[in-house]
Structure 1
């Protein structure tokens, strides 16, 4: 079986030499281009949210929904398209569409203003392209990097993505202040141009389009069947859903609610969020430098256990300092989890199904996050933010213990 063969080979060759081996040049070039694209996207997302907020809360929610709905509905189809026609080709088409769309957005916003229909249309284009681009992009490390170096490669990618999030908001604010939505869209268009130039030079060695005997919908369904039928992939996907539902809402949703309950300032709330980002960056940088733990499943479980302790500390924090420490510990656990589970999923999927498995991973995270955000938000309105935060800590600890009790994950 593919999963056993690839994992066993990495273990048999030893992790110490591989952990220090240099990452492939094509991957580093692709990662540099991807980083430029992520920074441009973060700038545009801030600008879209800011422009939408001028139309009211309902309008802002509509714009966010216009991104989320097509991304969620089409992502499995996007994974099938990337596996069938090639991830690189799908990314080239998607980046070209976004280059044209963001350039058009810059022109229209500059000449006619930021009407609500324009924001919704732009958001819908972003969500649709994301549905095809995200599975293709998520599979690229597995196509460019040997399995024994994937933990370091993915950790470096995670660090870059987190840096883009941290820099995107202030840079977006600066660009919006100078040039409005038009300026932010022009900057994002330039970033897509950079990504296109990089993709023209990067070619995965083993990626070949194939003529499938079935339609795209059946191919998408076969990716779901493969993941659910494989013990390692099934366990990893369930663990990812649990982590997305219990871990991701803590900083984005419950953290600000806790800050308001304590009458902390927005700057203090920002420090709490920054602590989580700093924790993720620290772990990602360490794994990128030194390599991951020998047993990835145990590393992922340890990350969830660490995050659970940080979430509990955040929930019980009486002052800003304790809250920042709690969010930092949460970030350390989040980074540890992501840096170990990501390689498990990529090495566990056959090369013919890499994008489809990544699409399913995205879908699981999105559905879990949407459901948990709604339930936790309602509970916070009823009982206050501390109780749902403690429940998240309990759920995260339960997921960690479940992972350790699952032989497939524990031995991976």
Structure 2
């Protein structure tokens, strides 16, 4: 599981899109994400075929429970054992589970229980996979390339969403859910050897001192860096986790979690950034998911019209990711996050009052561009502001906000639209989203945050 270790002095300082090490990581990540998309198509099809609509919905939703409950612990695991090891192990487990269900469906008709079990396994593994994925870029490239890598990652996500659904549908058409599950397992399997070949950076000296059980000094500069007690323990440094095993044994996972939460709370950039991300996601998820479906029905656009609007959003988000991947860095990152979030919130509110499909597509394109830009810049700031030794826990908190709390706005948005209509709900959602931008502009440290050049 241990790969080639490269020190900060030997890291290639050329553009990340020309670095073979980064490209291997990106290929592994994209292959895994395409496999995820195919998996969800296969799971939903198999669940509908094996049970009632209500049972199928329960199977699709059951993975969210372990993901939300275990996400913070997953960040501790990523920081304790190193993100690369955790990602490789997670992909191996997911691949084995998916292929096992594919084989079971080929041989028999087992009902819903293996599908529900697979969903639980996926949700549990995702709880450690997502924080590790977020922490890995800082270990495969230099800090000045992390923003570009964030853009490249966004392109990979868009590619997976475009390719995964048709590929899953093709698998279902060829041989049913079993074939689609087999496709998903093979795609996830491709990522494992690629990840094994990825070289890992050694943590810089100041990051090595940020041991898991230590407390970061929030007053040590805007970055909140500090030296933890026990950093001088004599022992071999784990090249991937970048920390002293002797000290690791002296702390419990709960201590690690508390230290990570203290680190975020005391960080002058990360703390307000987390709040801005939470508000932005809460105001964005409801309208652009269930709200858009109800809006299309209200306007008489139909499924095709809704599809065009979603395509506009996806195009805008892809353009934002491409911009960051090509430019590598945008100046005044804190300002960009704040103003993009504010402008995007205005576009979200306007979407409910556009009468035509063509106009809605244009507004959705603008929303995708602004939301994609603010989201990518938030991700880049998380990558560059957090010490790599804490990055798994930082990513876990961010992922919990986006994937655990923000989806709660969907049933609330649906109920509110049923009571008051689309216009007022979209406007309220826009205000919530805009509050995230206001925080980014009002908190001095976040407003002045820059990406390394």
Is TM > 0.5 for Structure 1 vs Structure 2?
yes
Any conservation in 2 of the 1:236–1:341 contact (CA below 8 Å)?
Answer: yes
3-state secondary structure, aligned to 1:380 = helix
Any conservation in 1 of the 2:99–2:182 contact (CA below 8 Å)?
Answer: yes
Q: How many residues align?
A: 395
| Pairs within 5 Å for 1:229-268 | 229-268=266-305
More helix by share: 1
Any conservation in 2 of the 1:307–1:330 contact (CA below 8 Å)?
Answer: yes
Q: 2 CA distance for matches of 1:258 and 1:366?
A: 23
Higher-Rg member (1/2): 2
Cα displacement string for residues 83-136 of structure 1 (whole angstroms, at most 9, x for unaligned residues): 111111111211111121111011111222362212111100110110111111
Any conservation in 2 of the 1:151–1:288 contact (CA below 8 Å)?
Answer: yes
Segments of 5+ residues of structure 1 without an aligned counterpart are 1-17
Q: 1:106: which partner in 2?
A: 102
Any conservation in 2 of the 1:51–1:114 contact (CA below 8 Å)?
Answer: no
Q: 1:170: which partner in 2?
A: 166
3-state secondary structure, aligned to 1:208 = coil
CA RMSD of aligned residues (A): 1.7
Q: 2 CA distance for matches of 1:294 and 1:19?
A: 19
Q: 1:25: which partner in 2?
A: 20
Q: 2 CA distance for matches of 1:266 and 1:139?
A: 38
Q: 2 CA distance for matches of 1:404 and 1:327?
A: 24
Q: 2 CA distance for matches of 1:385 and 1:276?
A: 19
| Pairs within 5 Å for 1:116-195 | 116-195=112-191
Task: Select the residue among 46, 56, 65 that pairs with 2:52.
Answer: 56
The alpha carbon displacement at 1:283 in A equals 1.2
TM-score by length of 1: 0.92
Task: Select the residue among 355, 361, 368 that pairs with 1:324.
Answer: 361
The alpha carbon displacement at 1:20 in A equals 5.8
| Pairs within 5 Å for 1:313-352 | 313-352=350-389
The alpha carbon displacement at 1:19 in A equals 9.5
Q: 1:223: which partner in 2?
A: 260
TM-score by length of 2: 0.84
Segments of 5+ residues of structure 2 without an aligned counterpart are 1-12, 203-238
3-state secondary structure, aligned to 2:300 = coil
Any conservation in 2 of the 1:310–1:325 contact (CA below 8 Å)?
Answer: no
Task: Select the residue among 190, 204, 208 that pairs with 2:240.
Answer: 208
Cα displacement string for residues 4-39 of structure 1 (whole angstroms, at most 9, x for unaligned residues): xxxxxxxxxxxxxx8967553211111111101111
Task: Select the residue among 412, 420, 424 that pairs with 1:383.
Answer: 420
Any conservation in 1 of the 2:290–2:414 contact (CA below 8 Å)?
Answer: yes
Any conservation in 2 of the 1:309–1:329 contact (CA below 8 Å)?
Answer: no
Matched, 1:86 2:86: no
Task: Select the residue among 32, 39, 55 that pairs with 1:37.
Answer: 32
Q: 1:404: which partner in 2?
A: 441
Q: 1 CA distance for matches of 2:349 and 2:407?
A: 22
Any conservation in 2 of the 1:87–1:140 contact (CA below 8 Å)?
Answer: yes
Deviates most, 97-106 or 244-253: 244-253
3-state secondary structure, aligned to 1:247 = helix
Any conservation in 1 of the 2:25–2:195 contact (CA below 8 Å)?
Answer: yes
The alpha carbon displacement at 1:287 in A equals 1.5
Q: 1 CA distance for matches of 2:198 and 2:189?
A: 15
Any conservation in 2 of the 1:79–1:355 contact (CA below 8 Å)?
Answer: yes
Q: 2 CA distance for matches of 1:96 and 1:240?
A: 31
